[in-house]
Structure 1
């Protein structure tokens, strides 16, 4: 019997964007992971996201000069990531983001494909628009499921931060992409650059970030040298997440109003353009209305 062919990770299919970023990172000084964690861990921080055209990204690194170093592990500077996002059957966590709730959270497992390490992560948005991230080791073979231990940790976090219990969650979408990490060791700031995004749900696949780079600035104050240069280049922050993008690209029944412009302009998205196709692969009898979208786990990987 022929073994099933696994969907290749973005790193296995070189693209123009990955070649451009690799060339842009090559002249920078490499720095190891312990140094990054010591100088710029930033588990509580202000996040700003930018969708940066390739030419502007190259100009950003040119203007930064030698100020930033790049994370390097075993000679590698671009790393393979896989994230599985969890939500309720009614997509309550997605809707918290949609409605701009001040107190909201996101639940995922993140696998660092190159090392095989997997973490269970909870990102909590709270006071003064800061993001706090809690992370715990998670078995990689169970990355598409929440273990009893992960559910207990989530419950403890939500009780401590928001005074609520953890709902029952299931895997919703899987994202795969390449990431490079740059660090300003002097100021303790860093930013990541993500590219070649692949989103998956039940065998459906959507691509993104094929000709641009998602830059995420992570700082204490929200105003790093990289942020200032991006403003000078005319690149403005966008309010969006890879989870929300993936769900919008794969499930045309969800409401996406706050992000329609970004989705149209940067991801070639059209509202409800594939509604019939989605219904064809959805569970028979599942409610496909905007208020309750039944979705199941992504395919095993």
Structure 2
């Protein structure tokens, strides 16, 4: 199925990393959809003339590796689980094909807006150096003692709308690990539409709706945490886990 996805994606016009700067959308509204890889192929076939696809060194299916940080008592995870509207995620993310690595801070406010701040780093570091601690403190306005909590790896296709301020990320082949614990999700696809404000006229949103697929909020980080840390509280995510298991069955 991965080969079928590649074939469909190869029909799209390319866009380079430098051309993507105009649609970085560091402040945005994110809308997620959770689907099976077969549904992804059907959706992509309907929008091939509406989007361009990010291509780096000839690759359109790009590999991302992330290391998330949290406190000893997993504050960021529990903030999300407990429904706190103002919440934070801190991670290091490496774009494998371009060999570029960033420390990234994602903050969501009570209005559903996401702000991402980041600073380029040389590579993953499991112990945060002082300059990165200072950067995190400056964005979170509080001092937080953070440690590595979970590794995440996935393949991503990034699409850019030809006619509107919209980006689209398509994540598949998700893997989570920490120490000796691992979890892989085959067939699961997370589609995330990034816009200045949610626009239902988006070609991909319309295509998904025609197939009866509605927005579905889901955090890769939180889903990974429930698998890697089996003793963690996850009542809020039980329905999401059931839905994912049905899709991937």
TM bucket normalised to smaller: over 0.9
Distance 1:145 1:229, change over 3 A: farther
Match of 1:220 in 2: 196
Match of 2:130 in 1: 148
Distance 1:155 1:79, change over 3 A: same
Q: Please, which of 94, 102, 105 is the counterpart of residue 111 of structure 1?
A: 94
Q: Secondary structure at the match of 2:18?
A: helix
Task: Spell out, residue by residue over 1:21-79, the C-alpha distance to the aligned partner (whole angstroms, 9 max, x if none).
Answer: 212201111111111122x1110111111111223212211221301010011111011
1:50 matched to 2:33:
yes
Match of 1:193 in 2: 170
Match of 2:119 in 1: 136
Match of 1:240 in 2: 218
Runs of 4+ in 1 over 6 A off after TM superposition: none
Q: CA RMSD in A?
A: 1.6
Structure 1 regions of 5+ residues with no counterpart?
1-15, 160-164, 269-301
Distance 1:141 1:220, change over 3 A: closer
Superposition pairs of residues 161-176 of structure 1, within 5 angstroms: 165-176=142-153
C-alpha displacement at 1:202, in angstroms? 0.6
Q: Please, which of 179, 204, 229 is the counterpart of residue 156 of structure 2?
A: 179
2:245, 2:44 → 1: CA distance?
24
Match of 1:33 in 2: 17
Task: Spell out, residue by residue over 1:91-115, the C-alpha distance to the aligned partner (whole angstroms, 9 max, x if none).
Answer: 1100111112111110000011122
Q: Please, which of 35, 38, 47 is the counterpart of residue 64 of structure 1?
A: 47
Distance 1:91 1:54, change over 3 A: same
Q: Please, which of 50, 57, 61 is the counterpart of residue 78 of structure 1?
A: 61
Match of 2:229 in 1: 251
Question: Greater share of strand residues, 1 or 2?
Answer: 2
> In terms of Rg, which structure is larger?
1
Task: Spell out, residue by residue over 1:102-153, the C-alpha distance to the aligned partner (whole angstroms, 9 max, x if none).
Answer: 11110000011122211000000014200000010122052x3322111101
- Under a length normalisation based on structure 2, what TM-score does the superposition of the two structures give? 0.93
1:239, 1:91 → 2: CA distance?
20
2:188, 2:181 → 1: CA distance?
22
Structure 2 regions of 5+ residues with no counterpart?
none
Length, aligned pairs only: 245
